[in-house]
Amino acid sequence: MPTKFEPGEIGQPALSPLRRDAGGKLSKLPDGRHKPDVWRARVRATALDGSPVDCSAYGATRKAAEDAVMAKAERKVNGSVSGTRWSGATLLVNAVAAWLDALEAAGDRSPGTIRLYRNASKWFSADGSPVRRLTLAQANDVQRLVVFQQWIADNHGIGTSKHTRAILSGVLDQAVSWRLLDYNAAKSVGKVKATSFARETVARDHDRALSDAEISKLLTAARTKVNTAKIARSKRRAEDMADLIVVMLGTGCRISEALSLRWEDLDASAKRLHVAGTKTDGSDRTITPGPDALVVLAERFEAAGRPTKGYVFPATDRAGRHVPSLKLDTVNVLKVLRRIFDAAGLDWMTSHTLRRTVATGMLNAGLPANRVAGYMGHSDPSMTLSTYADRDPHGDSSDLAEVLRLPVSTPVRATVRAI
């Protein structure tokens, strides 16, 4: 006998590989030795009014057939177009997408958080996901959610599992507030530990600045990427990254600040650059870039046709042409920089190492902390000193000892032995 479902519940789809004969008629493949021409998916459910639902759909691939039949079943079960309203029969993956759209529209989370959530949300519908075909009602089960979270941790890391747990909690909270569910099962799901996640990790050193030799290695690796690029778009991207590194080393900009630089911010004649701070109000500043950074900015300015507006480091189209109004994506830039750092043998460094190198170099040169703080966009010079000044408790301190010489012309002891 067919399985009976509760009102609003959708079963698991049954899939059949089919072949098409010369007359166009579809028939079931007798074995798995032949590639199917099309897939058929069939699913049973019960509508909210208690009436039975039986849907079938076709697709060129197994996934396409599954997606089509589940969307059709949800429309019939809900009695409305999928996604226009929620019910217990709404697919979890659709509820996640709707919840993220609403969260972004509300503006209650930073763009970075929204980006992390969206990156994590793709695993809800990925092949092999334990919740891919579950409705809200079906997914609201502690054991099922634990299995999903363990799958995430094992295959995509603990960090991603934290994001998916936050998404689950938010989605199910929303369903509870709308009285679609009686409770939020995600709140009973604790932290999970990866049992088979073996991605190689490298310890990053966040307290180290680049030496002159390391800067040379980094710039050589960046230029090598340019010279070995095979296609126009890759070459343009490599050129942008090489220039970006020089500009960051010549301005001390954060990665977000460097990617936000616009031609309107540059006064080429006065050699001044306005940096629109992205971290605090005090980080907004106007500086004089280093000579090498000024050369790179001038060359990019001429190559871009002396523009009056647009991003200094804009995104490119598929042909490798710059789109001045389109900003580069920070996540993608960090991935490219990571490859350059690794190629230079500097796998310990991060993009912030470039900023640290600038600040540490200025402080080591003896420049006043308040001036360095102003250049770096710090509101408190003490933070600049505590964060970026080199500290060597066992180094040569003879120059400091000279400051301690007492201002007296006679010996302070009756007998002074020469040291």
- Residue-by-residue pLDDT tens, the chain, 419 positions: 456 666 667 788 888 888 887 777 777 876 656 788 888 899 888 776 667 888 888 888 888 888 888 888 877 776 543 344 688 888 999 999 989 988 887 776 777 788 889 999 999 998 889 998 899 999 999 999 999 999 998 888 888 899 999 999 999 998 888 888 999 999 998 888 877 544 545 678 888 899 999 999 999 999 999 999 888 888 899 999 999 999 999 999 999 899 999 999 999 888 899 988 666 656 788 999 999 999 999 999 999 999 989 999 998 887 778 889 888 888 889 989 999 999 999 999 999 999 999 999 988 888 888 888 888 888 788 877 777 776 555 556 565 566 565 665 555 555 544 54
**Strand order, beta sheet including 285-287:** 266-267, 272-275, 285-287
CATH topology of domain 212-403: hpI Integrase; Chain A (1.10.443)
Question: In whole angstroms, what is the distance from residue 87 CA to residue 90 CA?
Answer: 5
pTM for the model stands at 0.52
Q: How many residues does the chain have?
A: 419
Which amino acid is residue 43, in one-letter code?
A: V
Domains of the chain, by residue range, sit at 9-78, 92-188, 212-403
pLDDT of residue 81: 35
How far is the CA of 129 from the CAs of 90, 92, 155, in angstroms?
Answer: 17, 12, 10
Domain pair 92-188 / 212-403, same fold:
no
Q: Among the CATH numbers 3.40.50, 1.10.150, 3.30.70, 1.10.10, which is that of 92-188? A: 1.10.150
pLDDT value at residue 378: 85
Residue 105 and residue 133 in contact, taking contact as beta carbons nearer than 8 Å:
no
Q: Is 28 left (phi over 0), alpha (psi -120 to 50) or beta?
A: beta
Q: Which residues contact 86 (CB under 8 A, 6 or more apart)?
A: 95, 98, 136, 174, 175, 178, 180
In order of 208, 277, 283, 381, the CA distances from 386 in angstroms are 13, 21, 17, 9
